[in-house]
Amino acid sequence: MQHQFSAFIDDLKGTHGSNLASVTLYGSAAAGDFIPERSDYNILIALKKITPSDLRNAHACVREWHRMGHPVPVYFTVSELQNAADVFPIEFHQMDVAHKVLYGEDVLAGLKISDAFLRHQTEYELRSKLLLLRRQYIPASASVEGLSKLMGESLASFSAIFRAVLLLYGIQPPATKHEIVALTVETLGLDGSVFEKIFNIRERNFAETLTEKKANELFAHYMEQIEKVIDSVDAVKGKEAAA
């Protein structure tokens, strides 16, 4: 990957020139729980200014990066990073705790992240992903393979939000998904065996040992645990209202 990073950064430097302030890797690859062929390389590109021509000129290098199977990078201006930290607290907390500067300055260093909207965003993200999970279950339930893939991929997304849940409870979250989920289970009194089984499916392909009945039962227990997490966030909301 180092070769791919170097080639991509060279392309970005050629595209943006002195306007390129920073290229930062964040997410699982920076946190240390990257899974080949399953996890993504998430890239944040910071420019000093962004115009339509800057984005249009980036088409060729970003297209090549995306062709290799990586997500399209996120573009921010340096000033936007400071101004948006209160609107996207979940994302910026994640970036702050696990990121690696690949080029330029550390634009996330000293970032002032406001938690004024953290509970609202956390509940919104949890409920949105639960609704999506229910919708995706309909086609995925046709096979053990489809259902196993859905549970594994969705747990990766939920674990990012669990970080925010821990912050709401005044707990500094760890970096990796396993640690985040384990601490959430301990804090909220959840059934941790459900998440461990899904991690095993995601990382060790334990789906081969599941029958269709067992896979659907696991999904049902999984949804119950997610609903309990949402209830815990509602409890925080109730405390805020009482205060």
Q: What value does the mean pLDDT take over residues 166-179?
A: 92
pLDDT for 38: 66
Whether 148 maps to a domain, the answer reads yes
Specify the number of domains making up the chain: 2
My answer on whether 17 and 84 are in the same domain is: yes
Do 215 and 122 lie in a common domain?
A: yes
Examine the pLDDT at 64 and tell me if it is beyond 60.
yes
Residue 188 lies in a domain: yes
CATH code for the domain in which residue 155 is found: 1.20.120
CA 46 centroid distance within chain: 19
CATH label of the domain that carries residue 21: 3.30.460.10
What predicted TM-score, i.e. pTM, was given to this entire model?
0.76
153 and 75 part of one domain: no
Looking at the fold, whether 122 and 86 belong to one and the same domain comes out as no
Of 104, 128, 149, which closes a domain?
104
Looking at the domain assignment, is residue 113 inside a domain? no
pLDDT in tens, 3-17: 778 999 999 999 999
pLDDT number for residue 136 = 97
pLDDT of amino acid 242? 52
Express each pLDDT in 117-130 by its tens digit.
Answer: 899 999 999 999 99
pLDDT at residue 238, as a whole number? 60
Q: Same domain for 182 and 89?
A: no
Report the pLDDT value the prediction gives residue 243, as an integer from 0 to 100.
Answer: 53
Residues spanned by the domain of 187? 118-242
